A and B are shown apart, each in its own frame.
Chain A
Amino acid sequence: MLIIILIPLFIIFVIAILTLLERRLLANFQRRIGPDKVGLFGILQPIADAFKLLFKEMIVPGIANIFIFLAAPLIIFLVSLINWSIIPFFYGNVLIAELNLGFLFIFAISSLGVYGIIMAGWASNSKYAFLGSMRAAAQVISYEVSIGIIIMIIIIYVGSFNLTKIVESQLYIWNVFICWPCFILFFISALAETNRVPFDLPEAESELVSGYNVEYSSFTFALFFLAEYSNIILMSFLIVLLFLGGWLPLFNLDIFFFLSKEFWIIFKVLFIIYLFILIRGTLPRYRYDQLMMIGWKIFLPLSLSYLLLYIIFLFLFELFL
């Protein structure tokens, strides 16, 4: 029981640190100072932000469908937390539940997140929110397809949906070295799936004010914000577990084992998050038709053909070796 309460709190704490980290790093990329006034080196900035959001007045638009309007942020936040329940953290045994259908579960639950987006856009009864939600939903759906196919490649190779087994199969060599095109495809799809910068069209500030969460304020907005960042950390965890060997060190050498397992997984996840922020600091935004074209006409055929190639290779290996 205690873990079930502690893990969401821990995740929210990590998200708070991540927001500060992102702002500091962005400031460094753009030669600014960034937030440094609240607390020592701005450490208390996320807490100040949280208090500001919580003590603001919550405004519900008069023409909104109140029930769906309030349900949408709750759904998004809950879905982003449920996914954490089967992620193996440090040693591979700190879990709420170890599912045999691990990856299918994550995939099924994260497909529920789209409902929160669509409901938020529709219920707030405003053109900007509606357009933003349409954009976000289309983007998330179309990139989920390529993510699913890439996960299928790994699962065919490992032979199990279980996350711990997927990590353990990378003891001798990480999956990055075996299928690096998959890694690149998965990383870009993850950027699109979490609505991050080269694909942050749902909240394009210059066109739509802030996407599907325009009408939300104070606590409901905080829920959207938390869900978004929780999804970012989750995606980087998934990338690490799938491709970068989770808590396993580089190759199966004794030299690397003097560093603990916690160090390896935290280091890798931080590296992926750093890449997310670096991309936010450097790349401009795509046009929407370009985004859709990349999703359906480049990523989907590429990942499908890679899946086919992989199956043929495995079949040939089984025949001749």
Chain B
Amino acid sequence: MFKYLMVLCCFGVYTVNPIQALLWLVMVFLLAAIVLIELGSEFLAILLFMVYIGAIAVLFLFVIMLLNIRKVELYNYYVNYIPTLIFISFFFFLEIFFVIFIKCNQQNIIDYITFDHLWVNSLYYTSNIEVIGILLFDIYYYYFFFLGLILLIALLGTLILLVNLKKNSKKIPNYYYKKKWKF
């Protein structure tokens, strides 16, 4: 039920008004969280709530409201980004392919959980967070480090961009900037 609603809401993102499009996107996130709860992973659902709805989408809304975006510009953007869209979605598809057809070794996880407990107890009492913790920090810790490195690169990239901007801003005849750079 919620899956189909989610797919329907995805089409709402293509509305002309950017703010309404974002609100539709938030609706999609909400329904995705509900689907995750239905699947039994409430921790991931709450993370989706906190990270995507609570932080990222709010910041997007904030920025879009403060910018004065014209509707015509948005249409042009769609056409320009289609090649990159295909490129990214190809990799996404590959990822999903790997997950579905190659799969993570589930026996590994069960061995880890049942290592020093009675397995009957652990079947009933290992919560969502514990399983995710075991997966991230014990089994796939290497990939976890790798993901952290990728994030660090992204962070450093934005910082480098900002530093370059500041050097360029020297040319702007701004009293305050000049004073700061001399100091």
Contacts and interface: CB of A to CB of B under 8 A. Distances in A.
A138 B62 CA distance: 8
Contacts of B36: none
Contacts of B59: 141
Interface stretch (A47-55, A107-115, A297-305): A107-115
A104 to B, nearest CB: 5
B61 A118 contact: yes
B49 A114 contact: no
Interface SS of chain A: helix, strand, loop or mixed?
A: helix
Contacts of A101: 42-43, 46, 128-129
A130 B127 CA distance: 43
A118 B42 contact: no
B138 to A, nearest CB: 18
A118 B59 CA distance: 11
Contacts of B46: 101, 104-105, 108
Contact of B49 (A108, A118, A141): A108
Interface string B18-56: 011001001000000000000000110010011001110
Nearest to A119: B23
Interface residues of A, number: 21
Nearest to B65: A122
Interface string B58-78: 110110011000000000000
Contacts of A107: 50, 54
B13 to A, nearest CB: 16
A196 B61 CA distance: 24
A122 B53 CA distance: 18
A210 B66 CA distance: 20
A100 B127 contact: yes
A43 interface: no
Contacts of A122: 19, 65
A95 interface: no
15 contacts: A68-B23, A101-B128, A101-B129, A104-B43, A104-B50, A107-B50, A111-B53, A112-B53, A112-B54, A114-B54, A115-B53, A118-B62, A119-B23, A134-B62, A137-B62
Q: Nearest 6 A-B pairs (CB), nearest first?
A: A111-B54, A108-B49, A108-B46, A104-B46, A108-B50, A114-B58
